[in-house]
Amino acid sequence: MRPGYLASLVSLAVALVMVGVVAAVGTRISHPEPEYIVELSDDSLVEVEVEEGDPLGELALLSLESPGCVHGLPSGDLGEMNVRGLGQWEFGSEGRTPYFVYEFEEPGTHTVECTEEVDGGLALAAESIDAAETRQQIWAVTALGVPTVAVLLAIGLALATFLRSRKESTARPPQH
């Protein structure tokens, strides 16, 4: 067997292994438990201090179940909540999901009050939701890209080997 055909078979084997990995793992991957800036449990009221010139940015509320929580701004108004990433990702072995994203930009004491039981906490959105989106995109490109490239490589190697064999056989002078 020519080395080109052997390389083509190896490439097809890589594609099949990757398809098997994707079938076993699935197209959705789990994500590590983020570091919580504030942990929440039970019916809780927590205060988060934001220093002048050092905003925390967006904090994601992750919990096992949808909590009833409100974000109080230092001005006394209620903060807006964003539902970016709502139930889209699972974090840690227990499968906490993001429910709300709050802005912690305004200096002063912010409050988060939950009227229902919460099992989770507040984590930086960039390190939880945004990182999960990036990991998922990398996994999707890998899951689709590796088998595709491997199959195309296998076809290319087999075709090149076939054409080379054909060229070599036609280049030989006829034997008398």
User: Which residue bears the tokens 């990991």?
Assistant: 135
The tens place of each residue's pLDDT in the chain, 176 residues long, gives 788 888 889 999 999 998 888 888 777 777 888 899 888 877 678 888 899 888 888 999 888 887 888 899 999 888 887 777 777 788 888 888 888 889 998 899 999 988 877 888 899 988 888 888 888 888 888 888 989 999 999 999 999 999 888 888 887 766 66
CA distances from 148 to 29, 60, 144, 156 (A): 20, 36, 6, 12
Give Cβ neighbours of residue 4 (< 8 Å, ≥ 6 apart): 157, 158, 160, 161, 164
Tokens of 170: 């036609």
Q: How far is CA 13 from the centre of its chain?
A: 26
**Which residues lie across from 111 on neighbouring strands?**
47, 72
